Amino acid sequence: MSSLDPVLLSRILTGLTLIVHIIFASLGVGVPLMIALAEWRGVRTQDPHYTLLARRWARGFVITVAVGVVTGTSIGLQLSLLWPTFMRVAGQAIALPLFMETFAFFIEAIFLGIYLYTWDRFKNKYTHMLLLIPVAIGSSASAVFITTVNSFMNSPQGFTYKEGILTDIKPFVAMFNPASSTKVTHVLASSYTLSAGVLAGLAAYSILKGRNHVYFKKALKLTVVSTFIFAMSTAIIGDFSGKYLAKNQPEKLAAGEWHFATQTEATLVYGGVLDENNEVRYGLKIPYALSILAGNSPNTEVIGLNEFPEDERPPLSIHYYFDIMVTIGGLLVVIPLLYMFRKRLPGKKKYPIWMLISIMALGPLSLMALEMGWLYAEMGRQPWIMRGYMKVAEAATTSTSVGWMLVLFSVLYLVLCLSAIKVLSKLFRNKDAVEELRLLGLEEGGEKS
């Protein structure tokens, strides 16, 4: 393995770590909000079904937090080991959000422990629910601070650059860079969408398995409606992200849309393949749509990829990541809409099998959209690790041990993912929701016995 390029191996290892971590990190951001929604509804309506939802989701949440901590620690370790030049040059500029993320996690972890061990300890049920607020704020704040580090890499500012050294660093200016607002909101909204979609899929699976208790139907309604709201929010924020790219990172937008010549009335390309002359074949071309995406007007000028040197252009493959993300984003809106208007659809069944299967797919679909979005974001920044200042090849380690690190971390992630799946499945299989409902004295119809 020593003969392999350490830059390539470092990119593969970092990419693998992010692909794994983003799953658990996003669930760590979104699930607390879903727990809060369920418990709030349970307390407000005095409906124990929603309270039990919150209770069961909280148990599973602990497992995802544990795995997220391990993979998140791996990222911190790899920043120093695999990208030492980047950390040496930019470390002071990104130190503040990294430092603040630690405090956000402390707040989340402390109040999560208190929340888990104080069920039924308060006469006023709102008191226990309020303990979840710092958990939700802490988890979302962690995402905010870490995302500002990523946004700094896309839009570095707040320093003076002299001979490869950053001086006169302004941490808050670096942290709140032009990319921060769109990236942070997009990450939060997509995390909420993923969490709601996964929980909706689990509820649909339970009903498909013949568990027709009202508990599962209420879980389905809460999660599917939440998925629709969060998916719509993600799509709207995505539109703002497109406008940000057109203004601040035009090469990423151009590469993602196979847009080579600067022009107004620019066409948006969906799918297709490029021939040797960079002409699109077999793709769907939507007139004026790219100009409208870039500036809300067909007369908006969109900068083409030909304006940039070839060695500073992102890979054209990101076009497919963008297309997949957008396609799935549409499905994440349409599927919940079909559920919400199911009473107007033909057929006598309240929950048709095809609809339940579609809802089950919300989890995998939202996960794939999340991964495609991150691939588009990170690959679209190439060849830069700090756009305009430092390329990836300049930032990577020259160590010959990266190959063995890749093997060891791959084994670690495989063990973590398999263990998480096994623990979560055993956790809920050993204590079925219907069994807990009986212990609470609830009949199949949802009434107190």
Residue 193 belongs to some domain of the structure:
no
Could you tell me the sign of the dihedral formed by the alpha carbons of 344, 227, 220, 448, in that order?
negative
78 falls within a domain = yes
CA-CA distance, 442 to 42, in Å (whole number)? 14
| Integer CA distances (angstroms), 235 to 47, 108, 229, in order | 33, 28, 10
Beta bridge partners, 90, equal none
Element (H, E) at 258: none
In a domain, 316, yes or no: no
Residue 381 lies in a domain: no
In a domain, 335, yes or no: no
pLDDT at 431: 58
What is the per-residue pLDDT for 437? 62
Structure tokens at 396: 């990577």
Spatial distance between the Cα atoms of 40 and 214, rounded to a whole number of angstroms: 18
Spatial separation of the C-alpha atoms in residues 247 and 244, rounded to whole Å: 5
The pLDDT value recorded for residue 447 is 40
Number of domains in the chain: 1
Which secondary structure element, helix H or strand E, spans residue 440, and what is its range?
none
Beta-carbon count within 10 A of 234 CB? 28
- How far CA 369 is from CA of 24, 58, 266, in Å, comes to 15, 25, 25
Q: Cα 53 to the chain's mean position, in Å?
A: 23
Taking the alpha carbons at both ends of the chain, their separation in whole angstroms is: 66
Helices within 209-288 (DSSP H only): 214-248, 250-256
448: containing domain: 1-179+389-449
Q: What angle do CA 244, 105, 159 make, to 5 degrees?
A: 45
- Give, as one character, the DSSP assignment of residue 342: G
Pick the closest to residue 438 from 446, 427, 428, 430 (CA basis): 446
DSSP string, 119-164: TT--SSHHHHHHTHHHHHHHHHHHHHHHHHHHHHHHS--SSEEETT
Using the structure block, give the residue that is written with the tokens 């299967």.
357
233 touches 336 (CB < 8 A): no
pLDDT of residue 73: 82
- Contact by Cβ (8 Å): 152, 384: no
In a domain, 399, yes or no: yes
Instruction: Please report the pLDDT score of residue 368 as a whole number.
Output: 92
Q: What is the pTM assigned to this prediction?
A: 0.88
C-alpha span between 261 and 402 (Å, rounded): 40
pLDDT of residue 448: 39
CA torsion 349→352→356→361, rounded to 10°? Answer: -160
Report pLDDT for 405.
85
pLDDT at 434: 61
Q: Which helix (H) or strand (E) holds 386?
A: strand 384-386
Compute mean pLDDT per 10 residues along the chain, 449 residues long, and list them: 74 88 88 90 84 85 83 82 84 85 86 84 81 88 89 87 80 88 90 92 86 82 92 88 86 87 85 81 85 84 87 88 90 90 70 86 91 89 87 84 85 87 72 61 46
Angle at 261 between CA 272 and CA 250, to 5 degrees: 90
Identity of the amino acid at 412: L
Cis peptide before 383 (omega within 30 of 0): yes
Beta-strand pair 268-270/284-286: antiparallel
Pull the structure tokens for residue 72. Answer: 């998140």
Secondary structure (3-state) at 360: helix
Q: What is the pLDDT of residue 217?
A: 86
Cα separation, 394 vs 83, whole angstroms: 9
Q: How far apart are CA 250 and CA 217, in angstroms?
A: 46
Residues whose CB falls within 8 Å of the CB of residue 354, separated by 6 or more in sequence, listed in order: none
298 near 265, Cβ under 8 Å? yes
268 in helix, strand or coil? strand
Tell me if 116 is assigned to some domain: yes
Q: Is residue 44 part of a domain?
A: yes
